[in-house]
Chains A and B, each alone.
Chain A
Amino acid sequence: MADLFCPECKKFTEVVFDHSAGDTICSECGLVLEAHSVDETSEWRTFSNESADNDPVRVGGPYNPLLSSGGLSTVISKPNGGSSEFLSSSLGKWQGRGSNPDRNLIQAFKAIATMSERLGLVTTIKDRANEIYKKIEDQKLLRGRNQDAIMAACLYIACRQENKPRTVKEICSIVHGTSKREIGRAKEFIVKHLELEMGQSMEIGTIHAGDYMRRFCSNLGMANQEVKAAQEAVQKSEELDIRRSPISIAAAIIYIISQLSDDKKPLKDISVVTRVAEGTIKNSFKDLSPHLSGLIPAWYATEEDIKNLQP
């Protein structure tokens, strides 16, 4: 309702502001003085108690240093109404045609994210896996390889680097396109190339049975006492000369502890959770038998309980 100079009436007149059309109209002669005024008031109302995930002020994902230009570039998407206007559909096509150098990376990151979701991994591990994937992607050497295997191997290495290793079989069960062998070969390939590129910073130590103990026990639903006993037993087993994979030893120790307790887990359950074959657990048990009294802590089971244990 401000006073503006109307060129028709040649004087300052009262002016009406029409909100629906955005016009500033002279109230005496009806001439539109200013059109297309932009409404700068807030588009939506934000309350302090509303969920933080749905903040309409923020758009897009966080800054991602792995993508070129941080992943903040603008992408034209398809219009929602399904209007097949020449301009919007063509624009979408032109945008989609090869202007995005990161497309492969973004796809791969999405796949790695799905995988780590299935395994229930922390974001730290997922980010590490993304980093590793980007480093390999830079070198363009993995064209011919099975992409699933490469991504699975990145995840495997990331878990190892964070000292929360996952067995190859666990990762194998999550990713459907690969076998243990392919993931192993991809892992060797990645480690070799990263060492070439970065020098000696790729020190992933060997696996230990103790790393997996906590997780296997919790998946089986073992009581606290049993978990403690199992962890102590694993510590002691590392000094013994047992020629078995650490995973098999972990499975066998869980089996022993479980058989000694009141709540005996069947061999089948342990085999499923650890993904170690039942025969292997039995054989590992036989290998451990002579050392049982040294392995199992005294507060957990007596000598005769151990003797009564059937093979």
Chain B
Amino acid sequence: MAADTVFGSSHVLDSSSSTSSHPLSPGAGVVPAIENVVSTVNLGCTLDLKAIALHAPNAEYNPKRLAAVMIRIKEPKTTALIFSSGKMVCTGAKSEQQSRLAARKHARIIQKLGFDVKFNGFKIQNIVAAYDFTFPINLIRLANSHFKFSVYEPELFPGLIYRMKQSKIMVQVFSSGKIAIAGAQKRDEILKAFENIYPILMSFRADK
């Protein structure tokens, strides 16, 4: 069954890759593009959110909805949620280094407002990547044969949610052939998940 060959097949199949444009394992350079990196950092001091909201440029503060200030910067194009405890969440960056840079820039904004800011415990929490297979995929057959890993509820969400057994990575597969890989904390987790899912999705192509 395809399910049993998921973990460990890609190396075996490498040797039998054909000359077609879609061999059973991703060729060199075929990697999903990272779309979003979410990271957290502790600024190490309590903050006055009202003061930040009044003085910082591009700041949103709506205490009834969320107990945090939202600050957006243009380069790298990111949004940071800053909490009164001093903890900050930075979202929207396109790579891990950019996320770190953006977090530092946000911290600099807070520092300029006069707070004693540190940069403790920067950690990447989530990396989201996307890839387009360009061929339609038959989600119903995929859900039926990989029922242990997939959840497909067309009434609730048009994409099939594939959760790998060994890792906590989640892959959303859409019938257009586009996929989104999320839940990784490191780039190679994404690559490994991609290598695992590549042959599976190849076998469920819907076009001739």
Contact = CB atoms under 8 A, between A and B. Distances in A.
Interface string A238-271: 1001010111000000000000000000000000
B70 to A, nearest CB: 24
A71 interface: no
A206 B176 contact: no
> Which of B136, B143, B154, B175 has its CB near the most chain A CB atoms (within 10 A)?
B154
B144 A206 contact: yes
B154 A206 contact: yes
Say whether chain A's binding surface is mostly helix, strand, loop, or mixed. Answer: loop
B206 interface: yes
A241 B155 contact: no
B116 interface: no
A241 B154 contact: no
A245 B138 contact: no
A203 interface: yes
| Interface size, A (range) | 10 to 19
Nearest to B157: A184
Nearest to B161: A188
B140 A168 contact: no
Contacts of A188: 151
Contacts of A184: 153, 155-156
A243 B136 contact: yes
A200 interface: yes
Nearest to B140: A206
A241 B175 CA distance: 9
A147 B177 CA distance: 38
> Which of A167, A180, A200, A245 has its CB near the most chain B CB atoms (within 10 A)?
A245
Say whether chain B's binding surface is mostly helix, strand, loop, or mixed. Answer: loop
A168 B175 contact: no
B140 A241 contact: no
Contacts of A200: 148
Contacts of A243: 136, 158, 175-176
B152 interface: yes
A206 B155 contact: no
Contacts of B138: 241
A169 to B, nearest CB: 8
A237 B172 CA distance: 24
A264 B24 CA distance: 50
A168 B155 contact: yes
B166 to A, nearest CB: 17
A168 B155 CA distance: 7
> Which of B144, B153, B175, B176 has its CB near the most chain A CB atoms (within 10 A)?
B153
Nearest to A247: B155
> Which of B144, B155, B207 has its CB near the most chain A CB atoms (within 10 A)?
B155
B154 A167 contact: no
Contact of A205 (B144, B148, B154): B144
Nearest to A249: B154
Given A241-B175, A241-B207, A206 B148 contact: no
Contacts of B155: 167-169, 180, 184, 207, 245, 247
A294 to B, nearest CB: 15
B121 to A, nearest CB: 30
Nearest to B148: A200
B119 interface: no
B158 A206 contact: no
Contact of A241 (B143, B148, B153, B206): B206
Given A241-B136, A241-B138, A241-B207, A206 B175 contact: no
A245 B158 contact: yes
A245 B175 CA distance: 11
Contact of A168 (B147, B148, B156): B156
Interface in A165-200: 167-169, 180, 184, 187-188, 200
A203 B147 CA distance: 8
24 contacts: A168-B155, A169-B155, A180-B155, A180-B156, A188-B151, A200-B148, A203-B147, A205-B144, A205-B147, A206-B153, A207-B153, A207-B155, A241-B136, A241-B175, A241-B206, A241-B207, A243-B136, A243-B175, A243-B176, A245-B154, A245-B158, A246-B154, A247-B154, A247-B155
Given A207-B155, A241-B175, 7 more contacts: A187-B156, A203-B147, A238-B140, A243-B136, A245-B154, A246-B154, A247-B154
Interface of B: 136, 138, 140, 143-144, 147-148, 151-156, 158, 175-176, 206-207
The 4 closest A-B pairs by CB, nearest first: A184-B156, A241-B206, A245-B154, A243-B175
